[in-house]
Amino acid sequence: MTKEQEALCLNNMRLVSHCAKKFIPSGISWDDLISCGNVGLVSAAVTFRPEKNTSFSTYAGRCIDNEVYKLLRQRKKHSKVVLSLDDEIAGADGLRLHDVLPDENDMAEAAERRLLAANAIARLQRFPERNRKVWSLYLGLTGEPPMNQKQVAKRMGCSRSLISRILKNDINKMKGEVS
């Protein structure tokens, strides 16, 4: 580096600090920002061409910013978080990640239940309103857990035997449609 370039660097050290202030929220330490900015300043001093009619401070500010952006890209690229299924969940005493994630069987069963529920809802559209309500409660299609016949009867305000007859008759109708 020539004496002229050294003088440019020494006279513009405050510019590094000024440019680094913009990147404080990025989470990079102040020392790293200044260090990276100094690399940008030296790069600017070495590559600056006065014949381009640009002031050195403008050119150096861009070089400093570019150097910090490069550091940010590198950190982002290498900051992928790796989790293990045996990692403990913060704030949950002894609970590990594999304890809360569903396994493949659970996911397949849930998908099958959703498919069956969609099929049941489509078939139930042909039944009277009261029958649809009974089936929705009985199968848990309303978002609530499925109910037994006694619970459905209580919710509907009728006898359990009526609920049983409705379910049985509708099943027979569906069987007749299939065969």
Please state the pTM of the whole predicted model.
0.45
The backbone region for 27, taken as left when phi is positive above 0, alpha when psi lies in -120 to 50, beta otherwise, is: left
Quote the pLDDT of residue 93: 65
Q: What is the pLDDT of residues 120-172, one digit of tens each?
A: 777 778 889 999 899 888 888 777 888 999 999 999 999 999 999 998 988 88
Q: Which CATH number fits the domain that encloses residue 55?
A: 1.20.120.1810
Domain enclosing residue 152, as ranges: 104-178
CA 86 to chain centre: 21
Q: Are 119 and 53 in the same domain? A: no
Q: Are 151 and 116 in the same domain? A: yes
Q: Are 114 and 174 in the same domain? A: yes
Burial call 166-178: b when 16+ CB within 10 Å, e when fewer? bbeebeeeeeeee
Q: Are 108 and 67 in the same domain? A: no
Q: What is the pLDDT of residues 35-83, one digit of tens each?
A: 999 999 999 999 999 898 999 999 999 999 999 999 888 888 776 656 6
